[in-house]
């Protein structure tokens, strides 16, 4: 029961900036409202898609506050609090706890390559700082650190550790973490390109950076999976992947492209913060065709 709220489709929340590139409360609210209307199961705030790595502590606290004020009690809220220092991570964790988040999450330490003992200590110090549940964030392709099943097992000794958001590419990692934790943990699929495969390998749901660009498609893929309609789930995944390839094939970063897609849907959340690239004039001309791909797939699969 305690873990039930952590299942399903949980979009990674984007950074919402004004035209000057500052965090915008109004635009954050607009994205909250859009996702609420789409009936997603929750949001993961301040992670990779939230551009956390490019924001200072006050900005990250503000985003956590705005989202909680708008969505608390309406869906599951997970706060990503990973930061370069343990001190800053704890400050963010305590802030999220005062706002009523359902769980915390954090990447491992970045920049210095630290031993497992330091990584374990870092996560445990965040966990000890608040009464909230904790979801480990494993994303080796950006952090350079790979969570092992043995460290996962060790961390699970703390009852506040309820699972892992696994963004590594092998779906076998999902199966291994689920094997270690069983029904007492939630494992989230990270790579959106293999959402259905991740579910097949045991993931309880997903947290993804492209969900908000096409929430209906991911919700439907999840529905097909739950209904045992695996052929349909596979077909919708193929369409999702065509769209992700298009989102990632522009001059601007994937997040900049998604933000322009949302802008054309009436949800203006600004652009991205450098060094991420904004979209080019050339990209601008191709956004409508990406929107058509999303709309056509939605029409085909979501009745």
- Residue 208 in contact with ligand SI3, rule: CB under 6 A: yes
Question: Which among 17, 66, 122, 137 is annotated as catalytic?
Answer: 137
CB of 7 to ligand SI3, least distance (A): 16
Retrieve residue 303's tokens. Answer: 């009745």
Q: Which stretch binds ligand SI3 (CB under 6 A): 17-25, 45-53, 87-95, 168-176?
A: 45-53
Binding mask 141-180 for ligand SI3 (x = CB under 6 A): xx------------------------x-------------
Question: 288 Cβ partners below 8 Å, 6+ apart?
Answer: 264
Least separation in angstroms between residue 51's CB and ligand SI3 is: 9
With b meaning 16 or more CB within 10 Å and e meaning fewer, what string describes 166-192? bbbeebebbbbbbeebeeebbbbbbbb
Q: Is 249 in the site for ligand SI3 (CB under 6 A)?
A: no
Residues in binding contact with ligand SI3, number by CB under 6 A: 18
In whole angstroms, give the CA distance from residue 287 to residue 279: 10
Active-site position among 44, 61, 122, 165: 165
Taking the C-alpha atoms of residue 196 and residue 233, their distance in angstroms, rounded to an integer, is: 7
Instruction: Answer yes or no whether residue 82 interacts with ligand SI3 by CB under 6 A.
Output: no
CB of 107 to ligand SI3, least distance (A): 8
Catalytic: 137? yes
38, 44, 76: which is closest to 63 by C-alpha? 44
Q: Which residues pair with 205 in a beta bridge?
A: 8, 188
The answer on whether 290 is annotated among ligand-binding residues is: no
Q: Select 5 or 154, whichever has its Cβ closest to ligand SI3.
A: 5
Residues 16, 30: contact at Cβ < 8 Å?
yes
Residue of the chain from 82, 108, 191, 270 that contacts ligand SI3 (CB under 6 A): 191
Give CA–CA dist 234/241, Å, rounded: 10
192 binds ligand SI3 (CB under 6 A): yes
Q: Which of residues 7-36 bind ligand SI3 (CB under 6 A)?
A: 12
Residue ranges for the binding site for pyruvate? Answer: 207
- Which residues form the interface with ligand SI3 (CB under 6 A)? 12, 44, 47-49, 139, 141-142, 167, 190-193, 207-210, 244
Active site residues: 137, 165
């Amino acid at each position: 029961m305690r873990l039930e709220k952590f299942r399903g489709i949980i979009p990674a929340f984007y950074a919402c900036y004004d035209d000057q590139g500052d965090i915008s409360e109004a635009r954050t609210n607009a994205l909250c409202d859009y996702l609420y209307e789409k009936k997603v199961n929750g949001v993961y705030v301040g992670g990779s898609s939230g551009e956390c790595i490019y924001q200072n502590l006050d900005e990250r606290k503000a985003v956590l506050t705005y989202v909680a004020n708008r969505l608390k009690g309406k869906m599951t809220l997970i706060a990503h609090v990973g930061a370069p220092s343990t001190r800053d991570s704890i400050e963010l964790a305590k802030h999220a706890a005062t706002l009523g988040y359902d769980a915390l999450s954090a990447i491992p330490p970045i920049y210095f390559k630290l031993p497992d003992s330091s990584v374990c200590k870092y996560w445990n110090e965040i966990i000890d700082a608040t009464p909230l549940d904790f979801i480990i964030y494993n994303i080796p392709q950006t952090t350079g650190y790979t969570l092992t099943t043995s460290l996962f097992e060790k961390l699970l000794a703390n009852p506040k550790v309820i699972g892992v958001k696994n963004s590594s590419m092998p779906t076998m990692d999902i199966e291994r973490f689920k094997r270690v934790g069983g029904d007492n943990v939630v494992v989230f699929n990270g790579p959106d390109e293999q959402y259905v495969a991740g579910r097949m390998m045991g993931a309880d749901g997903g947290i993804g950076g492209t969900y908000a660009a096409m929430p209906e498609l991911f919700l439907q893929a999840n529905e097909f999976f739950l209904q045992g309609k695996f052929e349909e789930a596979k077909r919708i995944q193929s369409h999702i992947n065509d769209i992700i390839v298009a989102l990632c094939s522009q001059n601007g970063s994937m997040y900049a492209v998604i933000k322009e897609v949302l802008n054309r849907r009436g949800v203006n959340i600004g652009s991205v913060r450098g060094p991420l690239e904004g979209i080019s004039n050339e990209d601008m001309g191709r956004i409508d065709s990406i929107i058509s791909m999303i709309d056509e797939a939605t029409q085909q699969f979501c009745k």
